[in-house]
Structure formats: structure tokens, C-alpha cells
Structure 1
Amino acid sequence: MSSKDTNKYLLSLDLGTSGCKITLFNLRGVVIKSTVQEYQTFYPQKNWVEQNPNEWWEAIAKGLKNLNVDSLKTKEILAIGIAGQSWACLPVDKNGKALRNAIIWLDRRSVKQAEKMSADIGEDKIFEISGNPVDPSYVTPKIMWIKENEPEIYNKTHKFLQSNSYIGYKLTSKFSQDYSQAYGLHFFEVNNQSWNKKIAEKLGIDLDKIPSLYEPHEIIGRVTLKAAKKTGLKEGVPVVAGGLDAACCTLGAGVINDYQTQEQGGQAGGMSIQLDRPKGNPKLILGRHVIPDKWLLQGGTVGGGGTLRWFKNELGKYEKNLSSGTDKNPYQIMSEEANTVSPGSNGLIFLPYMSGERSPIWDPKAKGLYFGLTFKTKRSQMIRAIMEGVGFSLHHNLKTAEKSIKGIKKLNSVGGSANSKVWTQIKADITNKEINVPYSDHATTLGAALIAGVGIGIYNDYKDAVDQTVRIKRTHKPNSENHELYSKYFNIYLDLYKNLKETYQKLDKIINKN
């Protein structure tokens, strides 16, 4: 890369669950500027979780102005990549106007529609076509719910968009659906990477309401004059389709080879294993990588870094006060507290099912749990137990994957929780796998930027992009003694859910009745 490229950049937008991160990278993957803009999440009824797409767009516009992108010369921002949260269902009219709030991945209102899918088509047939299980979190049953409960909106819908495709439209006035987000629709046939018309018809979904498929690095359009005035961007900047945040994150973590695995510690948790063919597992999630013809076998958990965020918000006044006036944030203090506790947290086990759970148990009625509380339990033990519980959920997904896939030896860990050396070491000890930590805070936006760079030819291919930008910061090797102890606790972790599964059902009935 020549010296003349030093003042040229790639812009990345990451539309996450709690907010939008906007990052400007140079062509070596170094962060030049970055900002985060939060937006609201609405819970209008039990199991309903929505976000206002207009707030997404306003957050992006505000963030771009905060970065002063209008001060950059036209040719300095070469392209824009977009990462988006999974399984958002957003109906828009022919002018791209949102017809309702987006139903996001945490929403579980469409249980009846998911059950109807299983009854009418059969879970085995759906898995054969899509490589994915049936669950209310996916986009498919949400579209069916809208058609059944809001028919006037369904009839007005020109296209159903997901998070990154909506922002792509706002920037370019072009509708799109990238391959990496297509797994949210159960009529996406993994073996030939196309829509299955017969399955869509059986589900009662009109295929003309689904946008055309694009590779994540394909240019869908350019920044319009209207978008330029709103954001401060220059008119005409190329915009690529972008992709699923977890897939962008996997790329940004440096995962480009088969059986390489990314561990994600953002608001939600999970792991992504790269495969050379679409080999699904009924208890896991299968999606296209942002890299053409590569696949990701994923475990997606509700309880990632969000569990510690819950503790901070509800029980973390001590850490907040302690961090005030210092250069440490509450999470750093909680990590220090957890580091004073021995592995196993003195017999305290935490189930991180804070909003039901996705893979591998797929139980919307599961609940979070502290097991083993005594009068001797300390705050530090409660914090470490949360970290260990999230580690157990990661281990559960990895062990599920390893029943059919061999060769997973190392993980590349990214997301906010990767900033905690304590938490990362806990995960290494629980899984008995070496964990490498590249960019902790910017892997998702870096991945989206690399997609944009490949799309306009700045990088020869994805390997070239990763080689030029991804660097490992530190490595955590598992402690065999700790792993042996954690294996015993992990068995109890599994038993707890197994023994409480029916109790969760009873509790849910009581809650619903009252």
C-alpha cells in the first residue's frame, strides 16, 4: 500500500442492539475516529421487543456529524460498509418508509406462527432446506405474525428489510438483502443459495416482498444527495450491502480459514465456526459468511456481556461510585473484583438465560438463575459467577458443535468482554481452548469496513484484507487444573436447566395468568 493511501479511509456503520457504532478506519485497519450513539428499545407487551428504525437513522446521522465527516475531502472516504443486528423484521413501503417499528431478534411474540411452521411443513423439512431450526426469534415467523395480526401493514409492504438493508436504503435509495442475513428466512435454500418459492408459498409469504440477494461486498448504490445533506457524507460514496454483525465480527476477528472460530462477547454471546459447506446442526444456527461460499455454524446466546451490564445497572452502584473520578470504568472494577475469587466462585453457579435462551436449548421460557447463594456469598463471587455462567453457555454451544465437527482448537475472542483479561481466561479454562484476542472493541466495524474495501478493490481478496489489518493483541492458554474443576461445575450447570425445564414452564403460566 503506497504512502498516497495514508489519507484514505473506509467508513463502517454497526447497527447493534443497544446502539450504533460508527468507525472510520485507515486502510491498515487503524481506528481514526469512532463514536457510539444509543437508541431506545421498546417492550410494548410481554415477549415483544421493538426498535424505531427512524431512531437508527437519526443515531447514524448524529454520529456522522460528531465525527465531522463533512470536513473530509470527497475522495478520502472510499466506501461504506454496514453491519446489522440479526433477525430484525421491518416492513417498508415503496418509498422505503417504515410501516411500523422493527421487530428485533429478542422478540418472541410469534410462538404460534413458529408452531404453525412446524405443523404445516415439518421441522425436518425446514431444516433440510434452510439448515436452521424453527424459532420465534427468526424473521420468518415474524413476517407471518404481521400478516396475521396486522394485515393492513402486510398488504402495504413493498419489501421486508433487515437492519443493515434499511440503512443501506436510507443511504442509497436501493433495496437489498445480503446473503449473510438470509438465514433469518427459512425459505433461503442453503444448498443453492436462493429463495425456495414453494416453501415461501406454503408459509404464505409473497416472495416479491423480499429484496434481491446481494453479496455483502457488492455495491448496492451510492450516497444520495438527500442522504449527504442529512449525514454530512459526500454524495456519490459507494455503499456495499454489508452483512450480519456476527459475520462481520467474525471477519474482523481474522476468521477466514475453515474451522477457525470466533467467540463474541458483546451484548449477546456466541461463537461462529467457519465451514467450507453448509453443514447445519438442529440445535445451532447456520448462516452464510460474508465471504462468498463460506459458511458459519453459530451458537447464539442471549446472555453475553449484557448479563454483566444488567448487574452493573441494577446492583452495581458500588462499582459506579468507585469508578467516579478515576480513569477506570465500572466493568474494569468488576473484573478486578472477579479476579480475587477462585475458579468456581465458591460453589455459586449462574444461568445466563436473561431473556429466554437461544442455542442450544431454544427455550423462550428459561430464566436467569443464581444457584448456591449463602450468607457467605460476596459481590465479587456473584460477578465472577456471571462470567463463568457465560463461559458455560459458550462451552455448551461448542460441545454441541463438536458432536458433528472436529478441528476446533483455538478461538478468536472479540467484543466488550474480551477487554477483560479475567473473563477471557475464564472462557479459556472452561472450554479448554486457546483464545487469541485481536481488536476487542472494533472487530464488527472492522469487518464491515473490510467488506467495503474488498467491494471497491482496495484489497485483492478477504485474505489480503485480513493480512493487512488484523493483529493479535494477546493470547490466553487454558489452565488444565481449572478446566478439570470447571468440568464438574459444567455438569451441574447442565443439570440445573434439565431439572428446571418443567418448572420454567409452570412459572411462565403463572406470570402470563397474572
Structure 2
Amino acid sequence: MRCTVGVDVGTSSSKGVLVAEDGTILRTVTRAHTVERPRSGWVEMDANVWWQEFIDILRELLSSTDESEPAGAPTVVAVGVSGMGPCVLLADQNDEPVRPGILYGVDTRSTAQIRRLTEELGVDEITRVGGSVLTSQAAGAKIVWVADEEPMAWARARRLFMPASWLACKLTGAYVLDHQSASQVSPLYDIEREQWHEPWWSRYAASIEPPALTWAGDVAGHVTPEASAITGIPAGTPVITGTIDAWTEAVSVGAHGPGDLMLMYGTTMFLVATGSETLRTPSMWTTAGAFPGTRNLAGGMSTSGALTAWLKDLTAAGYAELLAEAARSGPGARGLLMLPYFAGERTPIQDPDARGVIAGLTLRHGRGDLYRAALEAIAFGVRHNVETMRQAGADIRRVVAVGGGTQGRLWLQIVSDVTGLVQEVPTTTIGASYGAAFLAATAVARDGAMPRIEHWNPVAERVIPDPEAKSAYDALFQRYLALYDATADVVHELAATQLD
């Protein structure tokens, strides 16, 4: 039986899936991990953990196969990779990391470099070349941070990786990066020409060899005998280049065509709107798409599942209890209003010094009210992003929800009620690992057997907004916007005292 493997390295875990040719999931494996936060605003991870987890996942996926199955023992014909991003992993000439990988926009260490690059290059020119202003999401600024702050590591650095490209290299020896990921190495990528911007690369990253550019579903190389011996994947098996997890999640549910918006309910919330035109706005991220001819306007919230998990741990209650109590609390959380900026915020406010705020607390409020307020706060953040995208010209006609958070219907309903959006929920919401397996399947499809994601993963349900709840949330959303403006100065002063 022909199968593909997909592995995704996420913020809180790595996930692997073994998928049959028709899209049926045969095996899934997860390895939980934690990121390191050595200082306030720093979020990083040892890349060797990514590779070891990949090895462990593959061994378990392949060792658990049953040769007595009617369809026969699974034969892996291609491997898909995916990972969080944009990250900055710098390695030496032997592809050994010179320091831990620096994570995406939740890592805010490069504020000084963002300011310096913006002053040196000019915001208009940065936006013209790369599509976006520089924010904590800009991987290029984090490369410059290493050059400025860690000269010993910088002196050894010769190559740039992200989690997906790191796995592809470990498996095949290929040094590549997909266009979508590259477009977030701002300001070093020219989005219109779809190539590295040589003048700025030479100025800020001259000692780093630019990775070859390809597309997410293209074959990067083939599994080496050495990687085969370690992982159990047959030598010579094709491995795709892969891309950042949010875009691979969009692939997993078919939400990568013009007019589509993908909502990824994970540790953080990610939004990807797809079109054919390059849209520019200082509040969002303009990127290349996962496929040729597409462009994205993307946004990301710094907390989503991270906030609900924090409340779960704080209250020592289970998710089922909290969801039931939140449902009883009702729209508006009995007069509570929360800002979800517990780890700063990315889009659309682009404020790493924002912090969480809970307004309206009384002695009568309980944990269910707090949990309801958190779900509503995340929904308000989604609406803020969607409205900003539309103001920038995004044509949003179809919304698809994906990720672990889609398992809770209350959360989905609150987001639809707050935003007024109908959300399609696919049959399979396992996420980026499934999308990576699909891309791998398309890369090796036989004549006349090209897989289609609507066959692999059809829509299971649609979440329809409640007009009465939407009306109530409209007023609360205006208070949500006002609460940030009213508290920002005090919150920034407090953030300055939180040094570790």
C-alpha cells in the first residue's frame, strides 16, 4: 500500500502522520516539547530536538505498521515536512547549529535591529521590496541580532534554516528554502521578483550562503542511506521542501485559493488570506503564497491556546469543566472584558509590550466567566485582524477553521458570533502534518491519480453566526478596542519592569 508521511514541528509538539494514497490516516504520533525562554521576550529551541523527535516519530509510525492488514504493509513513497516559522536557525559549514533556533514573532528580541534597519533602509523601500514593514515576525532582523549580539556564533554561521528546511537537509543533504518562508526573511527577499534581494543580503548577511529557493511541494532531494538507517525511511525516498506550519495547515484543508481565509486555532492564532495581488499594510504581513502565482496577507496573535492552557493550569480544572462553565456564563462573560495580549501582540497592533488586561472583575465572577472572557478576547482579536485585512483590500469569501482548538464547538461558535463569519470545519483537523503528507503525495502522484484535498478532507460542518449574539458582540468589540487604547500607557510602563 502506497503511503506518505507528514511531520510538523510546532511550538508545543511535533506531530507525525502516516497517510494512505486516498487520504486515510493510518497512524499518528505526537511528541510534546517546550520552548526555552531564557530572557523576557526571547523564545528559542534546540534544533537537535526537532531532528530527534522526527526520528522518534518515524520509528514509531513505521514500527507500528501491521503487515497483516488487507491492503498490505504500508510503503512510504514520499515524505512531507513542515514547521513553525519564520524561525532563524544558523548553522556552520557542517550544518551544525551555532546557537538555538530563534522562533517566530513571539520572540521580540530584535526591537533595536528593527529600528536600525528601518532607519537605514527606509520604511517605504522596505515595504516596496519585501511587502511588509519590519516587526518581530521579520526573520532578517533576527539574523542581524545574532551578528550584533553574539559575534562568536556569528563568526561560525554559514547557513540559514527553518524547521522544515532543517528536516529536509537532515534527510537529503539539500540546502533549500521555500519561497513562502523566504518572503518572511524580511527585508532580505524581493517579493515581486521572488528572489533574494542581493544588495541587502550582501549588506547584512554576507557570510551566510543564501539557500536555493523552491516551492513548498517541490522535491528537495531524496533520503540518504545515512538518514534511512536512522529513521527507517527507505533510501531514495523523495522529500519535499515543505513550508511554515500555518501555510501547510491551509493546504490540509484546501484553504489556499483566492478568497480563502484560514483560521488556525493552535497555541497561537494564525490567519492567512490568499489572493493573487500583493497587498501591503503596516498592520499585517505580506508574503508569497505556498504555490506559484499566489500572495498572502497574514496575521498572527501571540496567544490563543496558550491563554486557555494558562487558565486551565491556573484553575486546576479540566477543559471540559471550563467549557461547560463558560457556556453557562453566556455572551459577555457576565460583564467581563479581556485583552488577550499576555505575551505581547503581533497583528494588527504590532505591540510586543502589550500585556493582558481583565476589566470588570467582581467577587461574583468565577473561573467559567474568566474562561468565557478569554475565548471572547481571542475572538475579538480575530475580528480585529479580519477587519484590518479587509481594509487593506483582502477579498475574503470563504473561511476554513483548522487546528486543535476546533475540537471545542463553543470556541468556534463564539468566533463566528463575534466576527459574523461562517466557518467551514473539515473532517480532519489534525493540521500541518496532514497537509505535509498531502503535498508529498502530490509530488509523487502517478499519471491520472493526482490527489485532491476535497476528496482527502471534505467539509464536515459549518458554524453559522447567531444574529442575536452578533449584535451584542458588536458593542463589546468597540469596548475591546477602546480598552487597549485606554490602558496602553500603563501597561507599557508595567512591561518595562518585567525584565525576566
TM range (shorter): over 0.9
**Residues 16-415 of structure 1: matches in 2 within 5 Å?**
16-69=10-63, 76-105=75-104, 106-186=106-186, 187-202=188-203, 204-206=204-206, 208-315=208-315, 317=316, 319=317, 330-405=318-393, 407-415=395-403
Q: Do the aligned partners of 1:409 and 1:433 also contact (CA within 8 Å) in 2? A: no
- Aligned mates of 2:159, 2:429 — CA distance in 1: 33
Q: 1:143 to 1:416 in 2, by over 3 A?
A: same
Q: Which has the higher contact order (CA 8 A, sep 6+)?
A: 2
- Aligned mates of 1:300, 1:348 — CA distance in 2: 24
Q: Tell me how far 1:14 sits from its aligned partner.
A: 0.5
Structure 1 residue runs without a partner (length 5+): 1-6, 320-329
Q: Tell me how far 1:304 sits from its aligned partner.
A: 1.4
- Aligned mates of 1:212, 1:45 — CA distance in 2: 33
- Aligned mates of 2:429, 2:455 — CA distance in 1: 18
| Cα RMSD, aligned residues only | 1.9
**SS of alignment partner, residue 399 of structure 1:** helix
Identity of aligned residues (%): 25
Deviation digits for residues 255-307 of structure 1 (CA, Å, limit 9, x no counterpart): 14211111110111021111112222221112222222212211111111111
User: 1:325: which partner in 2?
Assistant: none
Q: 1:458 to 1:138 in 2, by over 3 A?
A: farther
User: 2:491: which partner in 1?
Assistant: 504
Q: Tell me how far 1:511 sits from its aligned partner.
A: 3.0
Of residues 425, 445, 453, the one that matches 2:441 is: 453
- Aligned mates of 1:252, 1:437 — CA distance in 2: 12
Deviation digits for residues 338-379 of structure 1 (CA, Å, limit 9, x no counterpart): 222211111111211121100000101011121111111121
237-246 or 447-456, which moves further after superposition? 447-456
Q: Do the aligned partners of 2:11 and 2:34 also contact (CA within 8 Å) in 1? A: no
AA aligned opposite 2:479: I
Residue 14, structure 1, aligned to residue 8, structure 2: yes
**Residues 421-440 of structure 1: matches in 2 within 5 Å?**
421-439=409-427
Q: 1:77 to 1:402 in 2, by over 3 A?
A: same
AA aligned opposite 1:59: E
Deviation digits for residues 474-512 of structure 1 (CA, Å, limit 9, x no counterpart): 111111111111011111111111112222221123334
Q: 1:275 to 1:406 in 2, by over 3 A?
A: closer
418-427 or 340-349, which moves further after superposition? 340-349
Q: Do the aligned partners of 1:261 and 1:272 also contact (CA within 8 Å) in 2? A: yes
- Aligned mates of 1:439, 1:156 — CA distance in 2: 46
Q: Tell me how far 1:409 sits from its aligned partner.
A: 3.6
- Aligned mates of 2:132, 2:118 — CA distance in 1: 12
Q: Do the aligned partners of 2:127 and 2:133 also contact (CA within 8 Å) in 1? A: yes
Residue 476, structure 1, aligned to residue 459, structure 2: no
- Aligned mates of 1:396, 1:82 — CA distance in 2: 31
Q: Do the aligned partners of 1:270 and 1:304 also contact (CA within 8 Å) in 2? A: no
Structure 2 residue runs without a partner (length 5+): none
Deviation digits for residues 291-349 of structure 1 (CA, Å, limit 9, x no counterpart): 2221221111111111111111222x1x2xxxxxxxxxx33332222222211111111
Q: 1:461 to 1:53 in 2, by over 3 A?
A: farther
Q: Do the aligned partners of 2:422 and 2:465 also contact (CA within 8 Å) in 1? A: yes
Q: Detail structure 1 runs of 4+ shifted over 6 Å in the superposition.
A: 72-75, 459-462
AA aligned opposite 1:506: E
